Amino acid sequence: MITFDSKLLETFISQERTFLEGARINKIQQPSRRELLLTIRNDGKSRLLYINISPQFYHICFSSEKNIERKIIEIPQKPPMFCMLLRKYLSNSRIAKINQPSGERILELFFETYNELGDKIYLCLAIELMGKYSNIILYNSDTNIILGCAHNVGSEKSSVREVYGQIPYIYPPKSSGIPPYRYKFLINVPSDINSIIDNYYTYHIEKEKFHLLKNKFLILSNKKLKKVEKVLSQLVNLLGKNKNADKYRLWGDLLMANLYNLNDYSDSAIVFDYENNKEISIKLDNKKTLKENANNFYKKYNKSKNEKIFELIEGYSQQKSYFENLLYSINLAKKINDLSDLRDEVESDKPVKKYDKRTIEPLKIEKENETRIYIGKNNKQNDYIVSKLANEDDLWFHVHNCAGSHVLLKTQKISEQLILECAKLAKKYSSAANSAKVGVIYTKRKYLRKPPKANLGYVTYRNEKEIVV
């Protein structure tokens, strides 16, 4: 990483001074604790002044709105306290002048505004770009008293300089550690240094945010998958323990059929097992009658019936498939936007059932003769393809017994070449993409069924064919 030094800041200020001085603040947003976004308007044009004070990426530039669309800059629904403070004092105020103390990595924005009594006052937003000591501080330039800052620095954090509300603002101590002139490309100053700064830091911030978000999502989703797998394992074990359920029913039936042939209060009963065509001995409770023993076996049978367990196993198997597909979608993601589409699924305790269909855009491949291929990159897109895009005679493709994308073929003329192409796409967009061979099933949409209350993307199918890719 290159360092945002005083010379680079000086170059930025010299090129943007005309726009900044006299501009008004239209909007104040704080994407995170270490990011600030000011919408500034001047000469009929609005621009986004982006301030980053993180230890790795501290810098200032005018950012592209595409960075918000791509979720590189995300605006929270609830603004932080510092953002509310800045809105209180700086909304609709005018930048009277800007300044950079000589040789310092500090940009001072002086605002002309009014206090509660209607008196004109001047406030200063000091943007200090100094590595791990970076900060954004708002103070009254008339009294020099700090009104607030992005993060407070008390005596327990620094013995050199404290920064928090209601104390005087002082400049940070000078540092000799950063060379004042660092960039060879500034010998011939580019005409648009802002674009260079924005592009450089956007690339590295996006890379870092994507990496951190992906790892976070993988950890959360793997945790949920392991929890479901643990419950499934317990249910399967319980099913094995209940394999004697039919035996209890049979014993009860045999005792009831022989009530008048046997004696009550016996230790055992010898009866003929008509189901297995042999004579057996049944151990009894000698304190109970034959009928009471039979009822006791019926109770054991009812308690150990497997229908509920099978139902639970089916439900948790669907959840397992859902989370496996979610993990596949996380690994498939290439951009922050791809991960943002999965946020509600990752952060929800249970599989998500509903979603905003207006925001769903599966991958689409346009081909000749009005042929289109749709590929779902996550559970929501898979569900949308099957429930909204597909017609009865469209062909649906999916890898067999693996997590992967739903692939839909819409065409007026089905050919073996198209079927093979879609099967290859189903393999490519699946967890079996690197396998030497994999089976891909396909069938018409009308043979798919989504069970009631099923998770997103879950379907059952029939009349399927299989092709090995």
Contact present, 195 and 19 (Cβ < 8 Å): no
- Residues 260 and 365 both lie in one domain: no
Q: State the pLDDT at residue 15.
A: 96
Kindly report the CATH number assigned to the domain that includes residue 166: 2.30.310.10
At residue 373, what are phi and psi to the nearest 5 degrees? -120, 125
> Of 156, 191, 226, which marks where a domain is finished?
191
Distance CA(357)–CA(464), nearest Å, equals: 28
Rg of the chain (C-alpha set): 35
Token pair in block for residue 65: 């709105």
pLDDT tens profile 30-66: 999 999 999 999 999 999 999 999 999 999 999 999 9
Q: Which of 172, 191, 210 is the last residue of a domain?
A: 191
Q: Which of 162, 191, 220 is the endpoint of a domain?
A: 191
User: Are 20 and 167 found together in one domain?
Assistant: yes
- Asked, for residue 185, whether it belongs to a domain, the answer is yes
Residues 358 and 349: their CA atoms lie apart, in Å, by 24
What pLDDT was estimated at residue 355? 84
For residue 139, what are the β-bridge partners? Answer: 124, 146
Residue 182 falls inside a structural domain: yes
Same domain, 58 and 147: yes
Give the model's pLDDT for residue 189. 67
Which portions of the chain are predicted below pLDDT 70? 1, 175-189, 241-244, 304-307
Do the bridges between strand 363-367 and strand 268-273 make them parallel or antiparallel, or are there none, so unpaired? Answer: unpaired
Map residue 17 onto helix, strand or coil.
helix
Q: How far is it, in rounded angstroms, from Cα 200 to Cα 10? A: 18
Residue 165 located in a structural domain: yes
50 and 175 together in one domain = yes
Residues 291 and 375 placed together within one structural domain of the fold: no
What is the C-alpha to C-alpha distance for residues 290 and 284, in angstroms, rounded to an integer? 8
Distance from CA of residue 224 to its chain's centroid? 14
What is the value of pTM for the model shown? 0.79
Query: Residue 226: beta bridge partners?
Result: none
Whether residue 56 is found in the same domain as residue 150: yes
Task: Say what the pLDDT of residue 417 is.
Answer: 95
Q: Within a domain: residue 207?
A: no
122 with 258, same domain?
no
What pLDDT does 179 receive? 52
Residue 219 domain flag: no
Same domain, 167 and 26: yes
Q: Are residues 85 and 169 in the same domain?
A: yes
Do 182 and 279 have their domain in common?
no
CB atoms within 10 A of CB 449: 12
Q: Which two three-digit tokens encode residue 292?
A: 């009471």
Instruction: Note whether residue 115 is domain-resident.
Output: yes
Q: What pLDDT does residue 330 have?
A: 97
Q: Is 310 domain-assigned?
A: no
Domain contains 227: no
- What tens digit of pLDDT does each residue of 350-401 get? 888 888 887 788 999 999 889 999 999 999 999 999 999 999 999 999 999 9
Q: How many domains does the chain fold into? A: 3
Which residues span the domain enclosing 429? Answer: 353-468
CB of 379 closer than 8 Å to CB of 434: no
